[in-house]
Chain A
């Protein structure tokens, strides 16, 4: 992954006080497509167990219940330390850029704060990558 190291993001999230508070009760498997690169985010009871690229067989098995995707160019803008307008938030990207959310909203939306914090951490990691 060129934009950021997802395993560094996972480690930083698990050590982050705000993420720990926001992610309580969050158990999920989310596929995150950074352009053509698919990642799997697996969280159990608020702890990130895995954040790494999916291999081809995993991609076929579809071990996720929610999916976030956008072209790489949009992720690049989204991960800027101070994003340009409408890249400051996932929902902003859905409304005004190329981000797509797929899956059961009532599963993902209750944990939006945790996801938002995870992406803020990804911004920090991307800035030092």
Chain B
């Protein structure tokens, strides 16, 4: 008898700004829809441990996409993408996430993401609070300038470099096989994609002047950051939380930039109470979300 994971994968089609994208996603569990977003230059494999967690599966229908150009979501056939520099913009990132939610008919899902995915939590809360019942930003900050560098896509610097520096942003307390797994995924992306995603991380995401517009009476906001994340540090995330009245912040001790992947056992100790709080919270009336 074969042994199977419970997550299943399939493809859907999303049209964004007139271009159709074939997007891969995996899902597991049942209940409140929960979109789980990967980090820059990576893909949904980072969430594989959480997808298999029975304590999440029992209350949540987890949806884990590979963004276009990442993982199994190959570039579109309807545009000459090879004639353009790849850059992930805030606009495209938000549209893709919301298009996926609409295409799958999700009813006000919870959104959770890490790194670029964590930054997106803040942007979604500001620009599209009516779409989500809660957002969870892992490794999120108001802004993270300074890392959009040519060395991330350079013909003399291979993907091994990306894997190596990404292992360096994990925690030394995390199990070595999972730290290596985080690096493994970074060794595999198309060379231009990591740098293009970092455009969003370092340039196009900036809530410094606009964060005051996030209203937690419309969408609940939770922020959690790993102690060892030197890209978006606990201090930076805490500062973001201070600027969002009603939000919740926690430092995840002993974790780094990829909490869900590098030490899922330690991570679940932090995230299960958050998911339980969201599950127990009364649903906001539609008028409150859109008002």
Pair from one complex: yes
A interface with B by C-beta (< 8 Å): 82-83, 85-86, 88-92, 95-96, 105-106, 109-110, 112-113, 116
Interface size class of B (residues with CB under 8 A): 20 to 34
Complex A-B: 23 CB contacts under 8 Å = A82-B172, A82-B173, A85-B228, A86-B233, A88-B168, A88-B171, A88-B172, A88-B228, A88-B256, A89-B168, A91-B165, A91-B168, A92-B228, A95-B231, A96-B233, A105-B151, A110-B157, A110-B158, A110-B160, A112-B164, A112-B165, A113-B163, A116-B164
CA distance A112 to B171 in the complex (A): 18
Q: Known interface pairs A92-B169, A109-B151, A112-B161. Does A86 touch B228 (Cβ–Cβ under 8 Å)?
A: yes
Which residues of A are found within 8 Å of B230, using beta-carbon distances?
85-86, 89, 91-92, 95-96
Which residues of A are found within 8 Å of B173, using beta-carbon distances?
82
From 167 to 214 in chain B, residues with beta carbon under 8 angstroms from any chain A beta carbon are 167-173
CA distance A83 to B160 in the complex (A): 23
CA distance A116 to B161 in the complex (A): 11
Contact with A along B222-243 (1 / 0, CB 8 A): 0000011011010000000000
Check A110–B169 contact: CB distance below 8 A: no
Q: Which interface residue of A89, A95, A106, A110 has the most chain B CB atoms within 10 A? A: A89
Q: Does B102 contact A (CB under 8 A)?
A: no
CA distance A121 to B231 in the complex (A): 25
Q: Shortest beta-carbon distance, A112 to chain B, in Å?
A: 4
Q: Known interface pairs A92-B230, A96-B230, A110-B158. Does A83 touch B172 (Cβ–Cβ under 8 Å)?
A: yes
CA distance A113 to B168 in the complex (A): 10
**Besides A89-B167, A95-B230, 13 other A-B contacts (C-beta < 8 A):** A82-B172, A86-B230, A89-B165, A89-B169, A89-B230, A90-B168, A92-B169, A96-B233, A105-B151, A109-B154, A110-B161, A113-B163, A116-B164
From 117 to 176 in chain B, residues with beta carbon under 8 angstroms from any chain A beta carbon are 151, 154, 156-158, 160-161, 163-165, 167-173
Closest to A97 in B: B230
Q: Known interface pairs A89-B165, A105-B151. Does A110 touch B172 (Cβ–Cβ under 8 Å)?
A: no
Q: Known interface pairs A82-B173, A85-B228, A86-B228. Does A110 touch B156 (Cβ–Cβ under 8 Å)?
A: yes
B interface with A by C-beta (< 8 Å): 151, 154, 156-158, 160-161, 163-165, 167-173, 227-228, 230-231, 233, 256
CA distance A14 to B111 in the complex (A): 48
Q: Which interface residue of B158, B165, B231 has the most chain A CB atoms within 10 A? A: B165
CA distance A96 to B256 in the complex (A): 14
Which residues of A are found within 8 Å of B157, using beta-carbon distances?
105-106, 109-110
Check B164–A113 contact: CB distance below 8 A: yes
Check B227–A85 contact: CB distance below 8 A: yes
Closest to B168 in A: A89
Closest to A105 in B: B151
Which residues of B are found within 8 Å of A91, using beta-carbon distances?
165, 168-169, 230
Q: Shortest beta-carbon distance, B154 to chain A, in Å?
A: 6
CA distance A25 to B160 in the complex (A): 13
CA distance A39 to B115 in the complex (A): 37
Interface residue from A90, A105, A106, A112 paired with B160 (Cβ < 8 Å): A112
Closest to A112 in B: B164
Which residues of A are found within 8 Å of B168, using beta-carbon distances?
88-92, 116
Which residues of B are found within 8 Å of A89, using beta-carbon distances?
165, 167-169, 230
